[in-house]
């Protein structure tokens, strides 16, 4: 089994006399900054003036312009949206990075696909929590944590891995497990997971199931409960005890249906297409498309997003959730979503 580092395996002294700049205060940023501070580290939040700036100040954080925060820090964690990182890096981060400092990321995309090229005199590592930022915060407050992957791309001080481990411990990941990876592995598996399984695969599966039932004349409300609402209950069981525990909990009829019909829906052809998706990630084809889409202000992203939000499963879901006050509403339209 791969080596997994836990809380007590990790020495935190390497990070103790260092100043940590958390650049960005969104989904991941607010969680890293607050968790690190409460773990006893010296944190400054790097931002531009605006909404996040005010929120970080209200949360009691020290806040500076990105350039100033970077210049004052020994570790700079970049938690801006991936598509904005290259421009902010060139303009505000790179010119102010101290030699021998560490540049850190929560996702390997920009470094792996060379959209950000770090100078050669800094450590470069990643601490990638395997969960949404709001859970990184909430689990920490509950005395638990979200697992993280760490990886070192550049080690000029000889301490990059230890600093990454201490950082991961500081955000609470030592309680859940910290696993070593590379920028390449983190980037490619993260993109594959969200495209083929967690986000893309799952939303397409849910919609296809819903459409199959409604097109056969069943009520959309029934189809919604069956194909979307119940999913959480099933996923919770898988999270707690794997497929075995989920199957133990469902009826034997459901389990038999799982065995005989699951492989008819997701079959060898599906897997072959998953391999195509993976190949597009590995060759940089997916990255190129996404980078270019951002350069032209996302016409396709926005059009698809509008169409998806009008899907019948979304309309009926909104109505039904209104009637279920116990279903937690999203705090805002800001990201609190699975995976990144
Ligand atoms: P968000 O979209 O939540 O980050 C938004 C933050 O970036 C806001 O504080 C915003 O401030 C700030 N920001 C945006 N543009 C600028 C700018 N030009 N100058 C200064 N600040 C700016 O990002 P995420 O937390 O989702 O993602 C951050 C990183 O973490 C990414 O690399 C992502 O891949 C990775 N990651 C994310 C996960 C997640 O759960 N979301 C999970 C694991 C990794 P303002 O209010 O001023 O706009
Ligand atoms: Mg992910
Ligand atoms: Mg991702």
pLDDT of 330? 65
What pLDDT does 1 receive?
A: 82
Q: What is the ipTM of this complex?
A: 0.98
Residue 21 gets the label, from left (phi > 0), alpha (psi -120 to 50) or beta, of beta
Residue 99: CA count within 13 A, CB half-sphere: 1
Is the separation of the CB atoms in 224 and 317 below 8 Å?
A: yes
Which residues, 6+ apart, have CB-to-CB distance to 89 below 8 Å?
78, 110, 116
Report the residue among 78, 79, 334 best suited for mutation to probe ligand 1: largest number of ligand atoms under 8 A from its CB. 79
Residue ranges matching CATH 3.40.50.720 in the chain: 4-181
Residue with tokens 């991961």: 168
| DSSP bridge pairs for 78 | 23, 105
Ligand index nearest the alpha carbon of residue 126: 1
What pLDDT shows up at residue 326?
82
Distance CA 151, CA 148 (A): 10
Rounded Cα distance between 230 and 235, Å, is: 9
C-beta separation of 52 from 28 below 8 A: no
How far, in Å, CA of 142 to CA of 149, rounded? 21
Q: Give pLDDT tens digits along the chain (340 positions).
A: 888 999 999 999 999 999 999 999 999 999 999 999 999 999 999 999 999 999 999 999 999 999 999 999 999 999 999 999 999 999 999 999 999 999 999 999 999 999 999 999 999 999 999 999 999 999 999 999 999 999 999 999 999 999 999 999 999 999 999 999 999 999 999 999 999 999 999 999 999 999 999 999 999 999 999 999 999 999 999 999 999 999 999 999 999 999 999 999 999 999 999 999 999 999 999 999 999 999 999 999 999 999 999 999 999 999 999 998 888 776 554 444 434 4
Ligand with the closest atom to the CA of 79: 1
- Whose tokens are 């949360």? That residue is 59
At 337 the pLDDT is: 43
| Closest to 136 (Cα-Cα) out of 29, 7, 20 | 29
Q: Which CATH architecture has domain 4-181?
A: 3-Layer(aba) Sandwich (3.40)
DSSP assignment of 2-17: --EE-GGG---HHHHT
Strands 42-47 and 19-23: parallel
Residue 334: per-residue pLDDT:
44
Which residues does a 6 A CB cutoff place in the pocket of ligand 1?
A: 24-29, 47-48, 50-52, 66, 79-82, 84, 88, 105-107, 128-129, 132-133, 335, 340
């Amino acid at each position: 089994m791969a080596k997994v580092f836990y809380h007590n395996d990790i020495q935190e002294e390497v990070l103790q006399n260092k100043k940590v700049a958390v650049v960005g205060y969104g989904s991941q940023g607010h969680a890293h900054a607050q968790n690190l501070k409460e773990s006893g580290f010296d944190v400054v939040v790097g931002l531009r003036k605006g909404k996040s700036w005010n929120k970080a100040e209200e949360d009691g954080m020290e806040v500076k312009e990105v350039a100033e925060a970077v210049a004052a820090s020994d570790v700079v964690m970049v938690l801006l949206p991936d598509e904005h990182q290259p421009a902010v890096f060139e303009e505000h981060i790179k010119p102010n990075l101290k030699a021998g400092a560490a540049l850190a990321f929560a996702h390997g995309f920009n470094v792996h696909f060379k959209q950000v090229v770090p100078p050669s005199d800094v450590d470069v590592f990643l601490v990638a929590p395997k969960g949404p930022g709001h859970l990184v915060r909430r689990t920490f407050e509950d005395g638990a944590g979200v697992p993280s992957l760490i990886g070192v791309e550049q080690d000029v001080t000889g301490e990059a891995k230890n600093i990454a481990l201490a950082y991961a411990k500081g955000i609470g990941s030592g309680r859940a497990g910290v696993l070593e990876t590379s920028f390449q592995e983190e980037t490619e598996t993260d993109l594959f997971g969200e495209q083929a399984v967690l986000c893309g695969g799952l939303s397409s599966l849910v919609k296809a199931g819903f459409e199959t039932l409604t097109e056969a004349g069943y009520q959309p409300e029934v189809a919604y409960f069956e194909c979307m609402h119940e999913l959480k209950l099933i996923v919770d069981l898988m999270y707690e005890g794997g497929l075995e525990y989920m199957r133990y909990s469902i009826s034997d009829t459901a389990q038999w249906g799982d065995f005989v019909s699951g492989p008819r829906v997701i079959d060898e052809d599906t897997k072959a297409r998953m391999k195509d998706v993976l190949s597009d990630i590995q060759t940089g084809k997916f990255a190129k498309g996404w980078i270019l889409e951002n350069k032209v202000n996302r016409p396709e992203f926005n059009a698809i997003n509008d169409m998806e939000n009008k899907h019948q499963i979304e309309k009926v879901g909104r109505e039904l959730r209104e009637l279920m006050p116990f279903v937690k509403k999203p705090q805002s339209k800001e990201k609190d979503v699975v995976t990144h």
